[in-house]
Each structure stands twice: as structure tokens, then as C-alpha cells.
Amino acid sequence: MSLVYKEKIVKWDWYEAESVISTNDTVKEKVCELGRTIVISALHQTGGRGRRGKNWQEIIGNLYFTYTQEAGAQELSKIVSIVGLSLAKVIKKLSPQSDVQIKWPNDVFLEGKKMSGILIENIEKDIWGIGIGINVVGAPILEGTNYQATSLKENGIELDRTEILHYYLKQFFEDMEEYRRNGFKNIREQWLKIAKNYRQEITVKTERETKTGVFEDIDDNGYLILKTKQGEERIIAGDLFV
């Protein structure tokens, strides 16, 4: 696999590959050699990984990238929220009249359909690889879900994949600055304004169990607060269903 250096985007050195198995794996492999503040995109991703062992299908022209971010493990849930919020804000800016929502923890939905996926993995102590797939030109047919996928193109947003990469990294950088300066409060408020299924009955599947209740809030850590018959539960990680 050969990587071509493109330019610096905000603080990240951006490299592009013709083809990789997974940009998350490539960043993990290359971080020592290329430095700790990098973003790697690929034109082809042959073994893209999704959350919970699912695969992430390649459609040529879609955007696949992974960038590094320094953060303590205790603030990871907040970073997870910021990553989704920044992406949602970019889409809203590109198409102000469209309906953009975030499904906890950080799936971005456009007109009720999933348009992106985010997989955050640890690289080394306090360095995370944030992998994002954005359906720029095409959407896969999803199986085993009760929602569909969509693309930006399908919604009249016609931009080159690399323009979206620039917009996203700039927005994420700004949102992280806001979080580092003023804490999570403002981010949480912005997040809740566009939260999908907020105050509705939902089911959350975690690694160990499945719980049903009302989606009450997210707390100062970005944990989901679920009001169940047994009382209030705080959920750190999981998948949300309706």
C-alpha cells in the first residue's frame, strides 16, 4: 500500500491511499512512522469494518477516512458525541433545509436515513483512531436494520469527497476547541437539539443486555440516560433501536 502526502488540514497531515483494507488499520500501522496527528483517506477500502463486527461496504466515490485524536479514556464518550455532532453540523451547513439528526451515540441520519458510520478505536494510550465512512455518492442496501441508508448525492448535496473531508476536519477542530475551552455543556445542548428519538421509547442493546425505556437525556459524559420501569440507567455504549 502506498500513501501519498496531500497537505495539512487544520492540524492533521493528510495522506491518501489508492486502496487499503481498512483506514482504521492503516492509521494504527502508520502512526509511529508518520506522526501522531494524521488523517488517512482511501479511494478503495476492501475490508471496511463497522461497529459490532459488521462490515462497511465499499461504494466507489464514497469517503473513507481515519484521523487521530488525543483524549483521555475518561472523556471518550464526550469525544464520541462531538464526532457525530461535527459531522451533523457540516451536513446541515451544506444543506440548511434538510432534516439532519444524530442517532445515539453518533450515527448521522439525513431525511430519516443513515448516511454515515463512525468507528472509534484505541491506537495507544490516549490516542484514538476515529474512522468515518460517508455515503457521498451511493448508499448500500442495509439488511437486518429497521432503517435505510442514503447518500448525500441522493439528497442533492453534490460535493467531492475530499471537500467534505476538509469541511469535517475544520468543524471537528472548532468543536473540540469549544469543548476544551468551555466544557461539554454547550456541545450537549447542540447534540440534544438534533437527537433522534429523544424523549421517546427506545431499546438499547449493550454488549451484555437489552434494555427498554424512555430516552431521557445524555449526561455530562455523553452517556445515555434511559428511564426504565426499574429506574434511571446510564448507558455508556450500545446500539439504539425503536
Strands of 111-163 (E only): list them: 113-114, 116-124, 127-134
CA 52 centroid distance within chain: 14
As measured in angstroms, the least distance from the Cβ of 168 to ligand BTN is 12
Residues of this chain that bind ligand BTN (CB under 6 A): 22-24, 48-51, 54, 56, 64, 66, 117-119, 131-133
Comparison of 110 and 118: residue with beta carbon closer to ligand BTN = 118
Query: What is the smallest separation between the CB atom of 136 and ligand BTN, expressed in angstroms?
Result: 12
9 or 132, CB closer to ligand BTN? 132
Least Å distance between CB 211 and ligand BTN?
A: 20
From 51, 5, 88, select the one nearest 22 (Cα to Cα).
51
Task: Report the residue number, 25 or 175, with the smaller CB distance to ligand BTN.
Answer: 25
CA distance between the termini of the chain: 41
Which residues is 233 bridged to in the sheet? 226
- Helix (H) or strand (E) holding 215, with range, is strand 210-218
CA angle at residue 23 from 6 to 241, to 5 degrees? 130
Measured from the CB atom, the residue of 77 and 213 that comes closer to ligand BTN is 77
Check: CB of residue 51 under 8 Å from CB of residue 158. no
Q: Which residues pair with 55 in a beta bridge?
A: 49
Provide the minimum distance between the beta carbon of 22 and ligand BTN in the complex, in angstroms, as a whole number: 3
Nearer to ligand BTN, 37 or 57 (CB): 57
162 with 198: CB under 8 angstroms?
Answer: no
Query: Closest approach of Cβ 149 to ligand BTN, in Å?
Result: 10
Closest CB 229 distance from ligand BTN, rounded Å: 30
224-228 vs 210-218, strand pairing mode: antiparallel
Which of 203, 206, 202 is CA-nearest to residue 236? 206
Smaller CB separation from ligand BTN, 22 or 190: 22
Reference 10, options 176, 226, 133; nearest CA is 176
